[in-house]
A and B are shown apart, each in its own frame.
Chain A
Amino acid sequence: RKEVEQDPGPFNVPEGATVAFNCTYSNSASQSFFWYRQDCRKEPKLLMSVYSSGNEDGRFTAQLNRASQYISLLIRDSKLSDSATYLCVGGDSGGYQKVTFGIGTKLQVIP
């Protein structure tokens, strides 16, 4: 079983829709979680950290469910510019070598 699993998609959604991605992790020792965004043939860029209490940044909301070992990303009012691949990242506290990237979920927002 992969340490971090994501549905690769693609998720095709109309502009203005709300879309949610989940990511499950197998290592219960994982402490740090993040969502990265990667555009086609570009480098990954940090989108947001994920906190146990959940956190929101504009149209983006991230949540962590430790009991079920998954994190989620919710995007409201999707824009065409949100089209990208969203990478789930999990890691041990301070453990770079345990940092694991998911395969990514591809989102395509359609006009």
Chain B
Amino acid sequence: NAGVMQNPRHLVRRRGQEARLRCSPMKGHSHVYWYRQLPEEGLKFMVYLQKENIIDESGMPKERFSAEFPKEGPSILRIQQVVRGDSAAYFCASSDNRFSGNTIYFGEGSWLTVV
């Protein structure tokens, strides 16, 4: 049973380019969460999605960031016009119901470097 799959694992973008990070949840999971971990900082909640719905995006920056979880295919976190401050590890997690701590599983993360 495959776990949460994220790709790419590492991504390098120049300032002003777009970054697309993909996440396939664990089989049977319909809830997806995105977290960002800046260097030397803790995990910060960004967005919570279910299929075709954004449930809570209170942690998303107001501009340049968007997320989707289409009916078919992986969830995508999109960052437009990247800046150096976007360099971070982006973790996707999934669960089979609303997060209760012990039922959330993380992907291995996507490391974005903006040069």
Contact = CB atoms under 8 A, between A and B. Distances in A.
Contact of A96 (B41, B43, B48, B107): B48
Q: Is the interface of A mostly helix, strand, loop or mixed?
A: strand
A91 B104 CA distance: 13
20 contacts: A4-B42, A8-B40, A32-B100, A34-B101, A41-B89, A41-B109, A42-B109, A43-B106, A87-B42, A91-B101, A94-B98, A96-B48, A96-B99, A97-B45, A99-B45, A99-B99, A99-B101, A101-B35, A101-B42, A103-B41
Contacts of A73: none
Contacts of B1: none
Interface string A20-50: 0000000000001110000001111110010
Interface in B58-115: 58-59, 89, 91, 98-102, 104, 106-109, 111
A46 B103 CA distance: 9
A43 B102 contact: no
A101 B43 contact: yes
A64 interface: no
A43 B109 contact: yes
Interface string B18-40: 00000000000000010100001
Given A96-B48, A97-B56, A46 B41 contact: no
